[in-house]
Amino acid sequence: MNHEKVIEVKDLVKKFGSFVANDQLSFTVYKGEIFGFLGANGAGKTTALRILCGLSKPTSGEITVGGYNVQKQSEKIKQNIGYMSQKFSLYEDLTVVENMRLYGGIYSMPIKQIKARTTEIIQKLRLEKQKDSLIASLPLGIKQKLAFSVAVFHNPGIVFLDEPTGGVDPLTRRQFWELIYEEAHNGITVFVTTHYMDEAEYCDRVSIMSEGRIVALDTPGNLKRQYNVQSIHDVFISIARPGGIGV
């Protein structure tokens, strides 16, 4: 694995009043890695993710994303990352091509490059017939794959995916992850949060957050060995309910 560091987090703390949402988080993400960021709802994942994307400032800590400091260079961070979430991705009332032109423009890409990338993505996803269709008219599976392609439209070094495959059918979910694999293979670093435990297994390394802290960070294989279980799902349960599920 590549050892170039693209995200460095040291002692990240985020407080809201007296509530500590992120409690001394420290970790490093390497170039080309698929890094899974897991944790129960309320554990502090979204708070940390927003800080890494340059959307909010930490209370304290040394954090750089793509070489840019989160405290002083958040605008630079935003220009050099991609982001996709289940809640928001593409504009439903614009066409496929219009969305790409919009995102290309937002990232200040030259027109020639926008056109080249548009053609590339349409060919790759076989959307020649649908390129002038409104996003709202496309099936969910195609929307997902397109949203990911648009998130990396400007060829950022890092892409943040916030629960990108919620509710999607099994075939589309896998096709989506194959897109991720391909991009990671080409050098993009992928930072992904998910509630699908099998997707955690697709990651090179996984961190698990609980109550504001990182309680586990390793490859899926090592975590399963450490907790002596067969799946990341069971690792999760072992951490969150050490006594077992006793309802």
Partner 1 sequence: MITVSNIKKTFDSVIACSDITFEVKPGELFGLIGPDGAGKTTLFRILTTLILPDSGTALLDGHDVVKGYKTIRTIIGYMPGRFSLYQDLSVEENLEFYATVFGTTIQKNYHLIKDIYTHIEPFKKRLAGRLSGGMKQKLALCCALIHSPKILVLDEPTTGVDAVSRTEFWHMLRKLRKNGITIIVSTPYMDEAGLCDRVALIQNGVVFTIDAPHSIIANFRKCLYAVKGKSKYRLIKDLRASPVIDSAHVFGDAIHITFADDKPEINLVESYLKENGHEGFSISEIPATIEDYFLQWSLAETT
Residue numbers at the binding site for partner 1 (CB under 8 A)? 39-43, 139-140, 163, 166-172, 174, 177-178, 181-182, 184-185, 195-198, 201-202, 220-221, 231-233, 236-237, 240-241, 245, 247
Alpha carbon separation from 112 to 106, 117, 147, 165 (Å, rounded): 15, 9, 21, 31
CB of 90 to partner 1, least distance (A): 16
Contacts of 17 (CB under 8 A, 6+ apart): none
In the complex with partner 1, which residue's Cβ is closer, 191 or 236? 236
Answer whether 242's CB lies under 8 Å from 228's CB: no
Q: Which of residues 76 and 195 has its CB atom nearest to partner 1 in the complex? A: 195
DSSP-assigned beta bridge partners for residue 30: 5
Which are the contacts of 95, defined by CB distance < 8 A and separation ≥ 6? 131, 132, 133, 134, 135
Least Å from the CB of residue 55 to partner 1: 20
- Minimum separation from the CB atom of position 177 to partner 1 (A): 6
> Cβ closer to partner 1: 110 or 170?
170
Q: Kindly state the smallest distance separating residue 232's Cβ from partner 1, in Å.
A: 8
Q: Which of 20, 102 has the CB closer to partner 1?
A: 20
